[in-house]
Structure 1
Amino acid sequence: MTLHVASVKQSRPGVVCVTVVERGGEDFYLIARHWRVAVEDWLWEFPRGMGEQGENPQTTAIRELHEETGLWAQPDAVRQLHRLHADAGVLQDDVRVMEIRLNDVSSIPVVDSVNQGGDWELEDLQWLRSADITNMIRDGRLIDGPTIAAFSIREINKHMQ
């Protein structure tokens, strides 16, 4: 039997950015639609990307958030929640689920839709409540595995604090 394995960016750690802002005592998650060539469709996802040479996951998360949304996070606002493999059957990958807490909502466009993504493959940036994301998963509108996993991990961590 022949097995094929793909290495993602020489197995450098990637990140999924679970970006959260608290407004009125409730958490809002940053989510956007990304064009995905492999499935030829727009998918709702958390910002994410692969690490560059010499980057740690925290630095990768800050860079990816900025590249995809234009938002900046301070290093002390970023923490690793978990680690996962997107598809251990065929990918040599190492994905870190990074929570990014943005506290200064005065400088963050917390609105229903913001079309300011700096990434060509991103559109329709939104801040959504946990219940909204749960409904999108239930309704089949959010089908991206790493985003569903990262959201679940964040929700579990939130309830354990």
Structure 2
Amino acid sequence: MTEYENPWFRVQREGSFFFVDEPGAHAGAAVLPLVGDTFWLLEMGRPAQAGAVTWEIPRGYGEASETSLECALRELEEETGLVAEPSQLELLGKMRPNTAILTSCIDIYIARLPADTVPTKRDEEARGVIEIPMELMPLQLARGKLEDSFTLAALTYYWAALK
């Protein structure tokens, strides 16, 4: 039974259990931008985080006729200004952000772009873009700078694939 609904999600009830269904997540994607040997993350202010700024990878819902790859390419360009070809993206894996309350399953990609890539204009969703050299990313993790589940999943897949 639907308890609440808006354009992005529905709160469902099954007996005494509640969960959130995100219809737009069917082709949603998150993408880890790697430009040369530098990761690009977004500085995001999220209302649910009471004014805190988080470092995240681009992500979003798929549009009606999009595949998750098309969504990843679009979100990458919109949020960072980085334009990539489909051949520059690789599917790393899938992620379920919270299996207890969310039905969504999101594809996680990496975008491998040359070091001399120049971004175009990006949208204003993010406060800014942070460039973190690959060798400094473990330090940022150790300092607790990364808390976003999509970003942590993408980095986990990335480093697991290097083994």
CA-atom RMSD in angstroms: 1.7
What SS does structure 2 have at the residue aligned with 1:91?
coil
Structure 1 pair 117–132 and aligned structure 2 pair: CA distance change class (3 A): farther
Instruction: Summarize deviations over 1:55-106 as a string: whole Å, max 9, x none.
Output: 1111000000111112211111112110110111100101111011112x33
For 1:48, the equivalent position in structure 2 comes to 59
Larger Rg: 2
Q: 2:92 & 2:99 partners in 1: Cα distance?
A: 19
Letter aligned with residue 101 of structure 1: R
Q: Which residue of 33, 42, 46 maps to 1:36?
A: 46
Unaligned runs of 5+ in 2: 1-14
* Matched positions, count: 147
What SS does structure 2 have at the residue aligned with 1:52?
coil
> Aligned-pair distance for 1:13?
2.9
- What TM-score comes out, normalization by structure 1 length? 0.83
Structure 1 pair 10–118 and aligned structure 2 pair: CA distance change class (3 A): closer
Instruction: Summarize deviations over 1:125-161 as a string: whole Å, max 9, x none.
Output: 122123322212211121112211111111111x13x
Q: Is the 8 A contact 2:44 2:53 kept in 1?
A: yes
Letter aligned with residue 60 of structure 1: C
Instruction: Summarize deviations over 1:5-33 as a string: whole Å, max 9, x none.
Output: 111234413211111122xxxx2111121
Letter aligned with residue 160 of structure 2: I
Structure 1 pair 10–75 and aligned structure 2 pair: CA distance change class (3 A): closer
For 1:87, the equivalent position in structure 2 comes to 98
Q: Map 1:50-69; keep pairs closer than 5 Å.
A: 50-69=61-80
